[in-house]
């Protein structure tokens, strides 16, 4: 073990047994699956040189007793549920924080939200993100058929994960006795409210997302291949497809990675996945499940904080597709947890937080006027950010074309900055606001995804503000969207000293506000 590495406590739930019979309870396969994750995490920590130990807990009351005497500063949290009160597992991160421990994965508020499928869908819709139409049916209540629209429908427990309680009978064609029966089954067998939502007939995708040194990275898209399913059989990933290797469902739902989609479809899928991550408040790692309808429109099915990280599961496959070694992912989680401990400690002492790793050296800023060779390069990395719709990219192209054609005579002052190979990796464009005295708009700013998180965006903004001052500018104005996906952008402007000056509700689209930020440069 390396002496400079912190020790790690791998904490997991003990697969429960029925106290009356001593036999495993229902959903034994998904409960037992956590031990595969534990073994994989332990192997990774061994390879990385971290001292570690593994402890299982059976209920939430076990956790504070364990943490009180634990010397490890970091908890690798693989607690997924408890036999008596499964939802109690969502509070483990809060207990870790209370005992001054760094905890990997998502925090308690995020897990509480995501475990409640009805609440999750309300949060997503409030953020302007599309979900299948549906209703929550509390235990003992009847299905409000008038609120459902047209079928087919899928019925699932409102507070379970790992596809527990979902099988072929969960999909029904229309409102009526079959739907009522499916809802009663969830109420009686699972003891939970039921989610009844429209069952989408199109393709199904999974998007894994990770956080590295504060920067969020969307991994390659994966698709579920249902081509082996006969006509008329519901195409869904049910419990058998996830946990029963000998079943048709398991064998008949291989993943496709890399996925075959158009560039526009990929941008839409990635943007929705990132928007869901932000809306639910994820951190460290998560998986977002999405589906297309018959017309190819993409909807968010679920957000899964702390998804299964078994080496053979889809999340690990996405890491491999992104060329991120499994050990590096585990090191990233530990590093993130340590960073939060340092930040919390610094907040109490009133000092700046200390990172557990040295940040990358900011790239040199090489601003120059954009040239014809830069046009397609800039548009390529702007598309790759997954923030902009195709029509917005078209506007950026028009702006670049004008600035290239007219040069410094253009009303658009457009500059790029290069990497060490002379290829544009950042773009900023600003100009005097018509009919004003000394007011300037910063129209566009973008950084290639591979260069994000290294201070290049802030350097470009500083360059633009200095250029505006040279031209007699006194007020800098930026506009952005109120959608959840733009939360990092809004925080970026606030960190640079901008202030929200105005908000126009539903400006870009229903639920998508226009927010105006300003900064005085005098």
Contacts of 19 (CB under 8 A, 6+ apart): none
> Does residue 20 or residue 425 have the better pLDDT?
425
What gap in Å lies between CA 86 and CA 112, rounded to an integer?
11
Segment among 29-38, 215-224, 340-349, 425-434 with least mean pLDDT: 340-349
List the one residue out of 402, 403, 399, 471 whose CA is nearest residue 439: 471
Question: For 487-504, what is the mean pLDDT?
Answer: 89
Q: What is the pTM assigned to this prediction?
A: 0.68
Q: pLDDT tens, 189-211? A: 888 888 899 989 899 999 999 99
Which residues make beta-bridge pairs with 433? Answer: none
What 3-state DSSP class applies to 402? helix
Q: Where are the domains of the chain?
A: 8-105, 367-520
Check whether 466 has a pLDDT greater than 90: yes
List the one residue out of 459, 435, 439 whose CA is nearest residue 447: 459
Check whether 287 has a pLDDT greater than 90: yes
DSSP letters along 223-252, please? Answer: EE--TTSPTTS-----HHHHH-TTSHHHHT
Question: What's the pLDDT band for 350 if we cut at 50, 70, 90?
Answer: very low
Cα 36 to the center of its chain, rounded Å: 24
- Degrees (nearest 5) of the Cα angle 113, 133, 483? 60
Question: For 43-68, what is the mean pLDDT?
Answer: 93
Question: What's the pLDDT band for 234 if we cut at 50, 70, 90?
Answer: confident
Domain 367-520 has CATH 3.40.630.30: yes
Question: For 436-461, what is the mean pLDDT?
Answer: 90
Residue 228 is encoded by which pair of tokens?
């082996």
Query: What does the pLDDT read at residue 358?
Result: 46
What gap in Å lies between CA 82 and CA 79, rounded to an integer?
8
What gap in Å lies between CA 451 and CA 249, rounded to an integer?
41
Which residues make beta-bridge pairs with 504? Answer: 514
Question: For 371-382, what is the mean pLDDT?
Answer: 92
Share of the chain above pLDDT 90, in %: 49
Query: What does the pLDDT read at residue 363?
Result: 66
Check whether 386 has a pLDDT greater than 80: no
Query: What does the pLDDT read at residue 3?
Result: 58
Q: Is the dihedral of CA 349, 350, 351, 355 positive or negative?
A: positive
Check whether 48 has a pLDDT greater than 60: yes
Task: Compute the mean pLDDT over every residue in the chain, rounded to the nearest whole number.
Answer: 86
What gap in Å lies between CA 28 and CA 126, rounded to an integer?
36
Strand 512-520 relative to strand 194-198, pairing: unpaired
Q: pLDDT tens, 65-81? A: 999 999 999 999 999 98
Question: What's the pLDDT band for 400 if we cut at 50, 70, 90?
Answer: very high
Query: What does the pLDDT read at residue 357?
Result: 44
Dihedral angle at the C-alpha atoms of 114, 117, 119, 125, nearest 10 degrees? 100
């Amino acid at each position: 073990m390396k002496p400079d590495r912190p020790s790690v406590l791998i904490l997991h739930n003990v697969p429960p047994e029925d106290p009356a019979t001593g036999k495993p309870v229902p959903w034994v396969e998904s409960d037992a699956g956590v031990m595969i994750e534990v073994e994989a995490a332990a192997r990774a920590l061994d390879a990385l040189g971290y001292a570690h130990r593994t402890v299982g807990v059976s209920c939430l009351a076990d956790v504070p007793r364990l943490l009180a005497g634990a010397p490890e500063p970091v908890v690798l949290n693989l607690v997924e549920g408890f036999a008596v009160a499964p939802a109690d597992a969502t509070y483990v991160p809060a207990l870790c924080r209370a005992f001054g421990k760094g905890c990997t994965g998502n925090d308690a508020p995020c897990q509480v939200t995501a475990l409640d499928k009805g609440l999750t869908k309300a949060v997503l819709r409030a953020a302007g993100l599309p979900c299948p139409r549906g209703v929550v049916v509390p235990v003992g209540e009847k299905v409000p058929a008038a609120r459902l629209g047209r079928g087919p429908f899928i019925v699932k427990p409102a507070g379970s994960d790992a596809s527990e309680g979902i099988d072929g009978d969960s999909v029904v064609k229309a409102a009526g006795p079959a739907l009522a029966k499916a809802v009663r089954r969830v109420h009686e067998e699972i003891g939970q409210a039921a989610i009844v939502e429209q069952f989408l007939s199109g393709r199904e995708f999974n998007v894994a997302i990770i956080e590295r040194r504060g920067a969020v990275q969307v991994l390659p898209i994966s698709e579920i291949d249902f081509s082996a399913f006969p006509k008329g059989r519901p195409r869904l990933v049910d419990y058998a497809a996830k946990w029963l290797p000998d079943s048709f469902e398991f064998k008949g739902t291989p993943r496709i990675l890399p996925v075959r989609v158009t560039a526009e479809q990929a941008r839409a899928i990635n943007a929705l996945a990132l928007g869901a991550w932000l809306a639910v408040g994820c951190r460290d790692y998560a998986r977002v499940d999405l589906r297309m309808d018959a017309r190819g429109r993409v909807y968010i099915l679920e957000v899964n904080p702390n998804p299964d990280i078994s080496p053979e599961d889809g999340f690990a496959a996405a890491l491999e597709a992104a060329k991120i070694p499994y050990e590096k992912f585990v090191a990233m989680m530990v590093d993130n947890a340590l960073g939060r401990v340092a930040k919390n400690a610094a907040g109490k002492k009133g000092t700046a937080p200390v990172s557990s790793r040295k940040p990358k050296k900011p790239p040199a800023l090489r601003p120059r006027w954009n040239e014809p060779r830069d046009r397609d390069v800039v548009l390529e990395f702007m598309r790759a950010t997954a923030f902009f719709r195709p029509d917005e990219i078209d506007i950026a192209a028009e702006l670049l074309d004008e600035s290239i054609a007219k040069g410094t005579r253009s009303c658009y002052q457009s500059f790029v900055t290069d990497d060490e190979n002379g290829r544009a990796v950042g773009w900023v464009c600003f100009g005097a606001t018509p009919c004003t005295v000394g007011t300037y708009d910063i129209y566009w700013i973008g950084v290639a995804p591979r260069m994000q998180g290294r201070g290049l965006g802030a350097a470009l903004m500083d360059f633009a503000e200095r250029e505006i001052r040279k031209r007699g500018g006194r007020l800098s104005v930026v506009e952005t969207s109120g959608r959840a996906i733009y939360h990092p952008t809004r925080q970026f402007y606030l960190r640079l000293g901008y202030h929200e000056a105005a908000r126009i509700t539903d400006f870009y689209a229903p639920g998508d506000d226009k927010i105006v930020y300003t900064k005085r440069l005098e």
